[in-house]
Amino acid sequence: MTTDVASVGPAPRPVRRGLAHRLGPLPWVAPAALAILFVFAYSMFELARQSFQYEDAWVGFENFSLVLSDPLFRTAIWHNTLLLLAVPVLVLLALLVAVMLFETRRGIVAYRAILFLPYILPIPVIGVVFGQLLQLNGALNGTLDGLGLGSLTHDWLGNPQLALWTMGGVIVWKEVGFGIVLFLARMMSLPEDVYESAKLDGAGFFRMHWHVTIPQMRPLVIFYVISEAIVMVSWVFNYVFVMTNGQGGPGTSTVVTELYIYRTAFQDQAPELASAAAVLLFLSTLVLIVGFFRVQRADGGTFGD
């Protein structure tokens, strides 16, 4: 009996320890978790509820149908999609500059600070400054004229064919600093012996970084791609609002989904349509977030290692 008890006795103990181990942190995270739940879950519930109502009456999917049939909403979605083209540009630029800094090392701290500066500047400041710089008779065109490059001058923000691309350029200018610092930090932490081995094997600059650096940074690159994609889909409102005085102009050339939601809710006074559009935007962002976690899981959850 004693032997039997002894043989089975220890078995439940790990279970009790496991449960306690799992529940242990709960009291510590519960306040924050509740706050987050309240802030996000409640607002999401309210948003979803409002998107199915009109003047407090249930209207089913009517608001979604009206939003989806609005050419301006489709235009806004298309503009967000076009802005996604800035993501590969961002990744390439950030990788390129990070590798150059990594190789140079000299003055790396100063360069890193300078390149990171745009990222920490407030977007309204950037918007106002670029709004002035990019006027038809502004400093950029003035400089181009002065250099004899008058043929390159354009109405950067006043021409509907150019305005969105100009906006994309400004976003890249600001966001690339984040990528550079992120990638550089990772490169600095990579083991030196791997590079030394590669060099001994005769790897040149390109092959070494293509076959050694980038593969080791894959999770970080994926993180950057996903976070910048989320920026392009649902975080560009500030740029557009400040640089076009909240109009998304000229015409509708820079209207993005967030601006559409804002204007629908607060200028057109149609909160139910704005809610429906916001739900659609949330779902599209959710696709990106889920995509990120899937890639991360497939990668063995190595991000941050």
Partner 1 sequence: MNARRSVAAALSAAALLATAACGGGSSDEQRPANAASPQSFPTEDVTLTMWWWGEQEAPGAKQWLADTVKAYEAKHSNITIKTVLQTTDGLIPSFEAAAAAEQGPDIEYFWGGIYSQQPYWSDSIVPVSDYIPADELSHYTNAALEDTYDGRTLTAPWYVNPQFPVLARTDVLDEHGLQVPTTWDELLNVCDVLSAGGVTTLAGGVKDGWFGGWLYSMLGAQSVASKDDVTAAVRGDQSFADPNHAEWWTRLEETREHGCWNDDINSLELYQAQQRWVDGDAAMTITAGTDAPNFVEKVGADKVTVTTMPTWGDGAYAGKMGTTSQTVGITSWSKYPQVAADFIMFMHTPDRLQAWYDQTGSLPADDRFDMSKVDDPVKKQLFAYAADGAPYLENFIPSALDGKAVFAGVQLVLQGSKSGEEAAADMQAEAERLRRTDRSLVDNFEGWTD
Measured CA to CA in angstroms, residue 183 lies from 93, 94, 95, 252 at distances of: 11, 7, 7, 36
Contact string 271-300 vs partner 1 (x = CB under 8 A): x-x---------------------------
Compute how many residues bind partner 1; rule: CB under 8 A.
36
Residue 129 makes contact with partner 1 by CB under 8 A: no
Q: Could you tell me which residues are beta bridge partners of residue 53?
A: 58
Look up residue 206 and give its two tokens. Answer: 């390109």
Residue 30 or 125 with smaller CB distance to partner 1 = 125
Of 263, 275, 279, 281, the residue at the interface with partner 1 (CB under 8 A) is 263
Residue 88 or 251 with smaller CB distance to partner 1 = 251
- Shortest Å, Cβ 246 to partner 1: 5
The region of 87-95, 103-111, 131-139, 210-218 touching partner 1 under the rule CB under 8 A is 131-139
Please spell the DSSP secondary structure of 169-230, one letter per residue: HHHHHHHHHHHHHHHHHHHHHS-HHHHHHHHHTT--HHHHIIIIIHHHTHHHHHHHHHHHHH
Which residues between 222 and 251 bind partner 1 (CB under 8 A)? 244-247, 249-251
C-alpha–C-alpha distance, residues 159 and 149, integer Å: 19
Residue 158 or 291 with smaller CB distance to partner 1 = 158
The region of 19-27, 48-56, 144-152, 220-228 touching partner 1 under the rule CB under 8 A is 48-56
Residue 134 or 226 with smaller CB distance to partner 1 = 134
Residue 79 makes contact with partner 1 by CB under 8 A: no
Residue 262 makes contact with partner 1 by CB under 8 A: yes
Residue 261 makes contact with partner 1 by CB under 8 A: no
Residue 118 or 249 with smaller CB distance to partner 1 = 249
Of 101, 217, 221, 270, the residue at the interface with partner 1 (CB under 8 A) is 270
Residue 82 or 96 with smaller CB distance to partner 1 = 82
Q: Could you tell me which residues are beta bridge partners of residue 57?
A: 54
Contact 134, 156 (CB under 8 A): yes
Alpha helices by DSSP H, listed for the chain, are: 2-8, 12-23, 26-36, 43-51, 62-68, 71-83, 86-104, 108-120, 123-133, 139-146, 163-189, 192-200, 205-208, 214-216, 218-234, 237-243, 257-262, 271-298
Of 47, 53, 54, 93, the residue at the interface with partner 1 (CB under 8 A) is 54
Look up residue 297 and give its two tokens. Answer: 């899981």
C-alpha–C-alpha distance, residues 240 and 263, integer Å: 12
Report the 10 Å Cβ neighbour count for 96: 14
Q: Could you tell me which residues are beta bridge partners of residue 58?
A: 53
Residue 193 makes contact with partner 1 by CB under 8 A: no
Look up residue 121 and give its two tokens. Answer: 């500047």
Residue 160 makes contact with partner 1 by CB under 8 A: yes
**Residues at the contact surface with partner 1, assessed by CB under 8 A:** 54-56, 66, 70, 72, 134-138, 155-161, 244-247, 249-252, 262-263, 265-271, 273
